Amino acid sequence: EAQVTQNPRYLITVTGKKLTVTCSQNMNHEYMSWYRQDPGLGLRQIYYSMNVEVTDKGDVPEGYKVSRKEKRNFPLILESPSPNQTSLYFCASSYRGGNYEQYFGPGTRLTVT
Amino acid sequence: AQTVTQSQPEMSVQEAETVTLSCTYDTSESDYYLFWYKQPPSRQMILVIRQEAYKQQNATENRFSVNFQKAAKSFSLKISDSQLGDAAMYFCAYESGKLVFGAGTILRVKS
């Protein structure tokens, strides 16, 4: 089954404790991206990747890191999480950037206390 | 920067009736794409319908159709014969190299 998976689905952590949210897709998509969803703001792009070893900042990259060492994986790293990073996070992938439909993962609910 | 505005935070519709969700966007681009995504309580993002800006014909997918007014930069979603399963958050999104979302509209369906 074609899908985007994220882990964990739920995470509660404390300020400053490094964490990684994994994202994997099995569709051989070139384009992958991370979004955060906050009430009243919709989804905002954090980082995106056009292909392996190619990443770029989205609209809200501060406090986040990503890597794209393999085509299928695109982990999101929070080196020192803060309470303002409490949010719902989505990973998405598409064949390429542009008109191609983006497939979203199931979301990760992160709470930073 | 491109922006997407959904002016209706919440909407309600009676089952079997029709509802229209509004969306406007701001861009200086001439070539772009517009989307409506549905997010049910499961939080999964589901693509409902897509419109290419260069196409004058409005997109239709079963009970879902759009009214695309390029000059007015308007992209509304019409849901006909509303069903209980249509209850969800609906996001309008614009894409021209990057996907930009509106704030969303919560749609409630009354039985």
pLDDT digits (tens, 9 = 90+) for B58-97: 999 999 999 999 999 999 999 999 999 999 999 999 988 7
Amino acid present at B80: S
Judged by a CB distance cut-off of 8 A, whether residue A42 touches chain B is yes
**pLDDT, mean over chain B:** 95
Please tell me the distance in Å from B18's CA to the nearest CA on chain A: 24
B 52-91: CB under 8 A from A: 52, 91
Judge: B101–A43 Cβ closer than 8 Å, yes or no: yes
| Vertex B96 angle, CA B9 and B26, to 5° | 45
Judge: A98–B95 Cβ closer than 8 Å, yes or no: yes
User: Which stretches does DSSP call E strand in chain B?
Assistant: 3-5, 10-14, 19-21, 24-26, 33-39, 46-52, 60-61, 64-69, 74-79, 88-95, 99-101, 105-110
B 3-42: CB under 8 A from A: 4, 6, 33, 42
Q: Which chain B residues touch A33 with a CB distance below 8 Å?
A: 99
β-strands A108-112, A10-13 pairing: parallel
Choose among B92, B96, B85: nearest CA to B47.
Answer: B92
List B65's β-bridge partners, or say none: B60, B78
- B46-62, pLDDT tens digit by residue? 999 999 999 989 999 99
Judge: A99–B52 Cβ closer than 8 Å, yes or no: yes
Judge: A107–B44 Cβ closer than 8 Å, yes or no: yes
Judged by a CB distance cut-off of 8 A, whether residue B111 touches chain A is no
Choose among B28, B27, B45: nearest CA to B37.
Answer: B45
Judge: B101–A88 Cβ closer than 8 Å, yes or no: no
Q: What is the rounded CA–CA span in Å between residue B32 and residue B67?
A: 16
Tell me the count of A-B CB pairs closer than 8 A: 44
CA of B96: which chain A residue's CA is closest? A98
The answer to whether residues A31 and A96 touch, using CB atoms and an 8 Å cutoff, is: yes
Tell me the pLDDT of chain A (113 aa) as tens digits.
889 999 999 999 999 999 999 999 999 999 999 999 999 999 999 999 999 999 999 999 999 999 999 999 999 999 999 999 999 999 999 987 666 788 999 999 999 99
CB neighbours of residue A16 within 10 Å: 11
Which structure tokens are listed for A57? 């900042």
